[in-house]
Amino acid sequence: MDEIKKWTIYLIFLVAGFATGVGSIGLFPQFWLQYGLTGMIVHLIFLAILTYVAILEAETVMKSGYYFVELYNKVSKRPAMVLSIFAAIAMFLSYYTANTMLTVLSPVLGTGTVARLIAKILMFAIVFVILTRAKEKTFAIMAIGSVIFVVAVTITTVAFKLQISESATFLGMAKHMLVARHPITLDLIKAAAERAIYGVGLGFAFYLMLGSFINERFNAKVIIGAGILVQLFIGVLSTITVVYAIAPTTPDRLLQYVYGGEEGAIQLMGELPHILADYPTLILLIGISAFFAGITSLLPTAEVGLQIVESTLRVSRNKAATYLVAVALAIGVVDSSPSIADMVLKAVTVITFFTAIFELYPVLTSKEKPQTSALAIAGIAAVLFPVGGLYALFAVFRAGGVYVVSGIIAAVVILFGLFGDKLVPEKA
């Protein structure tokens, strides 16, 4: 096999691992069960549009001849945009590191404040070692980790299907929920768009970085399109796994998971050792799958943050990794409390609608314009992101309480990205 074919396969799995994450293990099934067949159809429409946007982003950087950070700092002169993307990455890492490690440690540590802090410190240590020691092999390690993840999820799903009895009382109810039809509401559209944004992974400049890594001998459509299809396949397998994992319990527990949000999904992971006490092999398999789901998203996202720091501050890779981990961990200490962590999650969810616009900016302002059809899809996304973002922003303010802080944090990051260029030192 020649190098191009080998790296194409690597990169397909890299994209799949990045786009999947714990969200596809825990939140995609949650979304599908809550909104049924209608929600799935709306989600697939958004997913198709956003996948093509990701392809456009990678191809734009490939053709530009510039490194992706340079497109902001040197070409478009919008450094605040890329720094806003970095802020979103740092907050995401501060939250997601805990969730990833807790997929393994929650049965021992629980999911409280101390547990989250210990988990994220351990996870940051792993990420830091890989980023600083692997160096040029980092992408290969990420890709191999993604292959292991896909294999683990497939084995886990088959094992659950074979070992959990089909006679569980509410399996019929769960299957009915998956094919149920619902009215198309703003909440459904917002949830479908959020899952699609997370399902593709827009808002963190990953596809711009990918375009910097590959050249025109690679086919970005094949790499990204196949990667997202693998991600969708994993989401379907994960839904089967989650439904069968809850089967030994009660219908009430299923509904608690479906309407419990991300913290409800994490709580379920902590309860699985009790729910599946008679199935130790299944507990091990789902823990391995969820852990690799998290780390295969964490590493590429952290790599983007590292490269933004490295290019903006013009420091070595090791120093950039140190700065990235220090900033994200400082935020992580503050958001170790589950309630604060959920507040940060809501802020990141709002922010990514707008950083997705910032990520799309080089496509919209490129001198080499895409074809009319491609530009039309980019235009749809350019409208979709701010509309969805404003709706999400109003929703967190409407929720009140600690979520008002989510809205304030999101507004500060977004406004800085839009109007903060003059605040960035000229050398950046």
**pLDDT mean by block of 10 residues, the chain; 428 residues:** 81 88 75 92 93 92 87 89 96 90 81 89 93 76 82 86 71 82 88 86 92 86 94 89 78 78 70 78 80 86 94 92 96 89 90 93 79 79 87 90 93 95 75
Within the chain, what is the greatest distance between any pair of CA atoms? 66
Question: What's the sign of the alpha-carbon dihedral 55, 59, 62, 65?
Answer: negative
Question: Within 13 Å and on the Cβ side, how many CA atoms surround 140?
Answer: 8
Q: pLDDT value at position 135? A: 63
Q: pLDDT value at position 48? A: 93
Q: How many CB atoms lie within 10 A of CB 131?
A: 23
The two tokens of residue 25 are 């293990």
Q: Of 329, 338, 290, which Cα lies nearest the Cα of 104? A: 290
- The answer for residues whose C-beta is within 8 angstroms of residue 97's C-beta and 6 or more apart is 119, 120, 123, 124, 127, 298, 328, 332
Tell me the whole-structure pTM to 2 decimals: 0.88
**Among all chains, which residue has been given the structure tokens 């009915």?**
176
The two tokens of residue 238 are 């994960």
For 138-147, b/e burial (b = at least 16 CB within 10 A) is bbeebbbbbb
Phi then psi dihedrals of residue 403, to 5 deg: -70, -15
Residues across the chain: 428
Taking the C-alpha atoms of residue 323 and residue 340, their distance in angstroms, rounded to an integer, is 23
Q: What is the pLDDT of residues 125-176, one digit of tens each?
A: 999 999 888 766 777 777 788 888 888 888 888 888 888 776 666 677 788 8
**Among all chains, which residue has been given the structure tokens 């319990």?**
249
HEC string of the chain equals CCHHHHHHHHHHHHHHHHHHHHHHHHHHHHHHHHHHHHHHHHHHHHHHHHHHHHHHHHHHHHHHCCCHHHHHHHHCCCHHHHHHHHHHHHHHHHHHHHHHHHHHHHHHHCCCHHHHHHHHHHHHHHHHHHHHHCHHHHHHHHHHHHHHHHHHHHHHHHHHHHHCCCCCCCHHHHHHHHHCCCCCCHHHHHHHHHHHHHHHCCCCCHHHHHHHHCCCCCCHHHHHHHHHHHHHHHHHHHHHHHHHHHCCCCHHHHHHHHCCHHHHHHHHHHHHHHHCCCCHHHHHHHHHHHHHHHHHHHHHHHHHHHHHHHHHHCCCHHHHHHHHHHHHHHHHHHCCCHHHHHHHHHHHHHHHHHHHHHHHHHHHCCCCCCCHHHHHHHHHHHHHHHHHHHHHHHHHHHHCCCHHHHHHHHHHHHHHHHHCHHHCCCCC
Q: pLDDT value at position 428? A: 42
Q: pLDDT value at position 285? A: 82
